[in-house]
Every structure is written in structure tokens, then in C-alpha cells.
């Protein structure tokens, strides 16, 4: 699960490529324009490598941290089958992180450095995972709509230029689409259930709507995307384009269930074909991304604890000459 990356914008295009060999740069851009995939041992501009590491690393962190809100409901999910399904989903998300860390490592940053940057607060992950899953309905909304937003982004980025990331996304998108169906089934069950169940899912939707709108990143009016990074297919669409795609696909589905959305301005402009909505509170977005959200400290504390308690396993795996000890029979 992942929203749009917070891609660093260093300003003018010539600053990004000032120190690059013009002939190598021209050949690199010609390959991308032709639809070729860039592989780890190919020549690439330093800025291309830097921004890909940032984006893939953030995606990996988001998969790990993103499993935590739903993970709290594994032991409390209603019924054995729901528990099994949610456990499998959470395991998938952690597996996605491993694929993505491996893809990022091909660009030269070690997994250990990425994890350290996460638990030290240096590296970011998707803002939406810093909110609590208050009820079982929150877990259902996350599985349906957060995963839906992730698929919108990931399907776009699966057409990007970096081979290892694109191949990881192919598998991730297939599994996320199943997660989405699982979440949709849960939401439908609640929305067509008892008055209490319907009330619960409506309240969850109200809680999550602004974080969902934040999920795609700041408005294009605030987030100036460097043209060269789009041309290099590091990022395949703007934040507002991804948000519009999501709204177009899922708002009608939400309304079809008789659920409402907490935005009186939300409507589709028939002339432009674009959705109009109340501008999300970007000050809240900035507060959360800077570590002041409802669950930021809790999320990193859990990840830090897991890293510390799992250290002995990693050390053991690195001791190639260690003597094997047979388990007790």
C-alpha cells in the first residue's frame, strides 16, 4: 500500500543534470523515450538514482508500517475466516516490503541503512498509516479504499523506467487487487448489515476520508514536479491526476452502497469531467509528515522494537561458518 512519493524538487532542470556527461545523458533519455527499462548496471544520472532510492524506499517503508493499523485487528477480527484472511493480507504487505527493499538495494543503498533511516525518522512513509484503526470497520475501509488508492499509484508506476521496481510492482499490484476485493467485501457486508454495522462503517469512512485525500500527496499547485523527473519516468503522474483517477473509480461505488462522504463540495463537473472537492487541510498533512500525527511515535516504536528483537536472527544468518545444531527430538 502506498501513496505518491514525496519527490524532492531541487528546482531547475539544469541543476539536476549539470554534472552529467551530455552524450551519456542523451543516450539514457533516448532509451527511456523508446520504452526501454533501465537496469542496475546501466549508466544513469545521479539524480535519477537518488530519486528512485527515495521513492522505492518510501514505498517499502509504507508496506511495513501500513500493516500495523490492520494488524491490530488480527486477534479481534469477527470470526475465524476473517482472522485468516486478515493475517494473510498483513503477511502479503510485509512480503511486498521485502521485494521493494531488494529493488532499492540494486541502486546502492543497503537494507540496513534504509531501516535505520526509517526508525530514526530520517526516511518517510505514507502519511495515511499514522491514523488508528478504531473499529473493525476502519480495517475494512483501509483494505478497500487505501489499497484502491495504492493500486491507482502503483499501476501508473508499473509503467515506469526502472526494471527492478517495475517487476516488483507487477507482483504487488496483482496481490493488492485481491486485498481490495477482500476489503470491498467487508465494507459491503457492513453497509448492508444491521443499523449498527452500517453506522460503524459510515463513521469509519468519515474518519478516513481526509487521510485518503492526503494519500496522493499535496496539490499540484503546492507540489511543483520537476519536468525532467517525469520525462525520466521516475513518477508517472501528478498527485492531482492520481487523486482524480481514484475519485472517478471509487466515489460512485461508495455512493452505490448508500454511504455518504464528509465533503459537501464533492461533485463531478460534467463540463470538465473533473471532480470538485473541498481542498484538504494541508497544514494537517504537514504536521503528520513531520512526526506529529496521532500514531507516528507508536508506529516507529513498534518498528524499532521489531528491529531490536530480530537483531539476533540477522546476526545468526550472517555467521556462515556457525555450526549447525539439530533441534531436540
Q: Is the pLDDT of residue 329 over 90?
A: no
* Mean of pLDDT values over 164-171: 96
Using pLDDT thresholds of 50, 70 and 90, give the confidence band for residue 220.
confident
Does residue 118 lie in a domain region? yes
The mean-pLDDT minimum among 14-23, 55-64, 110-119 falls in 14-23
Does residue 219 lie in a domain region? yes
CATH number at residue 278: 1.20.1260.10
Does residue 2 lie in a domain region? no
Does residue 89 lie in a domain region? yes
What does the angle CA 88 – CA 93 – CA 95 come to, to the nearest 5 degrees?
90
Instruction: Render the burial of 307-317: b for 16+ CB within 10 Å, e for the rest.
Output: eeeeeeeeeee
Domain hosting residue 216, numbered range: 13-318
Number of domains present in the structure of the chain: 1
Burial class of residue 253, CB neighbours in 10 A (0-12, 13-18, 19+): middle
Does residue 39 lie in a domain region? yes
pLDDT in tens, 36-72: 999 999 999 999 999 999 999 999 999 999 999 999 9
- Alpha-carbon 91 to chain mean position: 16
Q: What does each C-alpha distance from 288 to 101, 266, 296 come to in angstroms? A: 24, 24, 7
Does residue 8 lie in a domain region? no
Does residue 313 lie in a domain region? yes
This prediction has a pTM of 0.90
Segment holding 268, helix H or strand E: strand 267-268
Does residue 326 lie in a domain region? no
* Mean of pLDDT values over 318-324: 74
User: What pLDDT score was predicted for residue 321?
Assistant: 75
Amino acid at each position: 500500500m502506498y501513496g505518491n512519493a514525496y519527490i524532492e524538487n531541487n528546482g531547475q532542470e539544469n541543476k539536476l543534470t549539470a554534472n552529467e556527461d551530455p552524450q551519456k545523458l542523451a543516450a539514457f533519455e533516448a532509451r527511456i523515450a523508446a520504452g526501454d527499462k533501465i537496469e542496475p548496471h546501466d549508466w544513469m544520472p545521479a539524480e535519477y538514482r537518488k530519486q528512485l532510492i527515495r521513492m522505492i524506499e518510501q514505498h517499502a517503508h509504507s508496506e511495513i508500517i501500513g500493516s500495523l493499523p490492520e494488524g491490530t485487528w488480527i486477534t479481534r477480527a469477527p470470526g475465524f475466516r476473517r482472522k485468516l484472511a486478515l493475517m494473510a493480507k498483513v503477511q502479503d504487505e510485509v512480503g511486498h516490503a521485502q521485494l521493494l527493499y531488494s529493488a532499492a538495494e540494486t541502486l546502492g543503498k543497503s537494507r540496513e541503512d534504509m531501516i535505520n533511516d526509517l526508525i530514526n525518522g530520517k526516511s518517510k512513509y505514507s502519511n495515511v498509516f499514522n491514523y488508528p484503526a478504531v473499529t473493525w470497520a476502519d480495517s475494512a475501509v483501509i483494505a478497500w479504499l487505501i489499497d484502491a488508492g495504492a493500486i491507482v499509484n502503483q499501476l501508473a508506476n508499473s509503467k515506469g523506467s526502472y526494471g527492478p521496481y517495475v517487476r516488483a510492482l507487477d507482483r504487488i499490484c496483482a496481490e493488492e487487487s485481491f486485498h481490495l476485493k477482500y476489503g470491498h467485501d467487508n465494507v459491503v457486508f457492513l453497509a448492508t448489515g444491521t443499523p449498527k454495522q452500517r453506522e460503524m462503517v459510515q463513521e469509519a469512512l468519515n474518519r478516513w476520508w481526509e487521510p485518503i485525500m492526503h494519500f496522493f500527496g499535496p496539490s499540484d499547485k503546492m507540489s511543483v514536479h520537476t519536468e525532467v523527473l517525469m520525462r525520466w519516468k521516475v513518477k508517472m503522474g501528478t498527485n492531482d491526476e492520481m487523486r482524480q483517477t481514484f475519485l472517478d473509480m471509487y466515489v460512485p461505488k461508495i455512493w452505490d452502497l448508500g454511504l455518504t462522504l464528509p465533503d459537501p463540495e464533492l461533485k463531478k463537473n460534467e463540463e470538465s469531467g473533473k471532480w470538485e472537492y473541498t481542498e484538504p487541510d494541508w497544514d494537517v498533512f504537514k504536521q503528520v509528515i513531520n512526526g506529529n500525527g496521532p500514531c507516528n511515535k507508536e508506529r516507529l516504536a513498534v518498528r524499532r522494537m521489531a528491529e531490536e528483537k530480530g537483531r539476533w536472527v540477522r546476526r545468526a544468518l550472517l555467521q556462515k561458518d556457525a555450526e549447525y545444531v539439530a533441534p531436540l527430538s
